[in-house]
Amino acid sequence: MFRGLIRRLVTIIPSLIGVVVVSFVLTRVLPGDTAAYFAGPAATPQAIEQVRKQLGLDRSLPVQFVDYVTSLSQGDLGNSLTTGQKVSKEIIARLPASAELTLSGLIVAMLIAIPLGVAAAVRQGSLIDHACRVLTTAGVSLPVFFTGLVLVYVFYFRLGWSPAPLGRLDVFFSAPPTITGFYLIDSLIDGDWETFRATLSQLLLPAATLALFSLAPIARMTRASMLAVLSSDFIRTARASGLRGHTVLVTYGLRNALVPVITTLGMVFSFLLGANVLVEKVFAWPGIGSFAVEALIASDYAPVQGFVLTMAVLYISLNLVIDLLYGVIDPRVRVDG
C-alpha cells in the first residue's frame, strides 16, 4: 500500500505541471487588457503602455512563463493587483471560509444522501424511493445559483428566519480567535456560544444550497450500489444463516456498497469546487472563489492562477485520501495495490 501511495505521488507531478501551464496560457488568452483596466478609462495609449511595462506584460509569453515558474518554485504566487497583497497571503486568509462552506455542504449532503439511498434501495417502489428520485432530479436540474437565490428569497426575504446573506458573520458579532480558521470550530473552542449560533445561522443557507446540489449523485450512486450488493450471493447466504437484518444490511451490505460511493465523493468534491464560486457570490461569502471572480473581472492574472493551482492541489489531496479509504473499507484493495 505504501508503494502504491508513492506511485500516486509521482503521478501528481505531471498533473500539477499541466495545471500550471494551462492556467498560465488561459489567463493570457482571455479577453481583457490588464494594463488598460488599471490605467483607468481616461488613460492615454502612452499611459497604458507605461502600465504594461511596469507589470511586465510587454515581454513575450515564454519570458513571462519562465518568470512565473521561477517565482512559483520559491513559493511566490505573485501579487494581486486589485488588493495590493500577496496572492498566497490572500488565499491563506480566505481558504478557511471556502473550506468551511464546502465541507459543511458535503457533510450535510452525505448525512442525507447515504441513508436516503440505502432506504430507497431496501424499499424499492415505496414512497421514500419516489422521494429519493424527485430530490435527486431536483438537485441535478436546478442551477446552484438559482437554488441559493430561492432559499434567500424564501427564508430571508419572505419568512425572516435567516439572517441577511452578507458573509460569514453578522456585523453585530466579532470573529472568534483564529485557531483553525473555521468559525464554527473556533467559537466552540473559545466557548462562545453566541458567536457559534450566529455563525451557524449564516452558514445554513449556503451549506444547504451546496448540499442540495451534491446529494443527488451521492444518493443515486448509493441506491444503485446497494441494489447490486443486496442481490449478491453472499447477502443471500448471510440471510439464510440467520443473521439479523440490521447486521446484513450495515455490516455486509453497506460496507461493500461504499467503495463506488466514495469514488463518487471525489467527483462531487470537484463539482463543489466550481459551484462554490457561485454560492460565494450569492451569499457574499469572503472565500477564495469570490476573490478569484473579482480578479478575473479585473484581468488580474496572479489570483486566478493561484486559485486554479490551489483547487488542483485540494482535488489531488482528496483523491489520495480516497485511495487510502479504499484500503480501510475493502482490504482486497490493499492486497491488489
Cell output for 277: 464560486
Query: At 35, is the pLDDT very low, low, confident or very high (cuts 50, 70, 90)?
Result: confident
Backbone angles phi, psi at 310, to 5 degrees: -65, -45
Q: Of the ranges 189-198, 214-223, 324-333, which one carries the lowest mean pLDDT score? A: 324-333
Helix axes 301-329, 2-29, angle to 10 degrees: 160
> How far, in Å, CA of 329 to CA of 337, rounded?
14
Find, among 282, 275, 231, 228, the residue nearest to 117 by Cα: 228
Instruction: Tell which wins on pLDDT, 236 or 336.
Output: 236
> How far, in Å, CA of 105 to CA of 19, rounded?
26
> How far, in Å, CA of 6 to CA of 91, rounded?
28
Query: At 335, is the pLDDT very low, low, confident or very high (cuts 50, 70, 90)?
Result: very low
Q: Of the ranges 99-103, 161-165, 274-278, which one carries the lowest mean pLDDT score? A: 274-278
pLDDT tens, 247-263? 777 776 777 777 788 87
Q: Is residue 2 predicted with pLDDT exceeding 70?
A: no
Find the mean pLDDT for residues 78-102. Answer: 86
Find, among 138, 146, 120, the residue nearest to 212 by Cα: 138
Q: Is residue 151 predicted with pLDDT exceeding 60?
A: yes
Beta pairing partners, 86: 79
> How far, in Å, CA of 235 to CA of 258, rounded?
15
3-state secondary structure of 138: helix
Specify the pTM. 0.79
Q: Is residue 336 predicted with pLDDT exceeding 50?
A: no
The answer to whether 101 and 287 have CB atoms below 8 angstroms apart is: yes
The answer to whether 304 and 87 have CB atoms below 8 angstroms apart is: no
pLDDT tens, 185-206? 989 998 889 889 989 999 999 9
pLDDT tens, 294-314? 888 877 788 888 888 888 888
The answer to whether 289 and 304 have CB atoms below 8 angstroms apart is: no
Instruction: Tell which wins on pLDDT, 175 or 30.
Output: 175
**What pLDDT does residue 206 have?**
92
Instruction: Tell which wins on pLDDT, 324 or 20.
Output: 20
> How far, in Å, CA of 185 to CA of 203, rounded?
13
Ramachandran region, residue 182 (left: φ > 0; alpha: ψ -120 to 50; beta: rest): beta
> How far, in Å, CA of 102 to CA of 303, rounded?
20
Runs of H (alpha helix) within 164-192: 183-190
Q: How many CB atoms are located within 10 Å of the residue 316 CB? A: 16
DSSP 83: T
Domains of the chain, by residue range, sit at 2-71
Q: Of the ranges 8-22, 108-122, 173-187, 279-293, which one carries the lowest mean pLDDT score? A: 8-22
pLDDT tens, 70-80? 888 888 888 88
> How far, in Å, CA of 112 to CA of 40, rounded?
50
Dihedral, CA of residue 203, residue 302, residue 274 and residue 37, to nearest 10 = 90
Q: Of the ranges 107-111, 227-231, 251-255, 329-333, which one carries the lowest mean pLDDT score? A: 329-333
Query: At 4, is the pLDDT very low, low, confident or very high (cuts 50, 70, 90)?
Result: low
3-state secondary structure of 86: strand
**What pLDDT does residue 1 have?**
55
**What pLDDT does residue 243 have?**
72
The answer to whether 318 and 269 have CB atoms below 8 angstroms apart is: yes
Question: Measured between alpha carbons, how far is residue 277 from residues 98, 100, 128, 201, 209 in Å?
Answer: 9, 13, 32, 20, 12
The whole-angstrom distance between residue 30's C-alpha and the CA centroid of its chain comes to 24
Find the mean pLDDT for residues 84-100. Answer: 87
pLDDT tens, 268-296? 887 787 788 888 888 888 888 888 888 88
Average pLDDT of the chain? 81
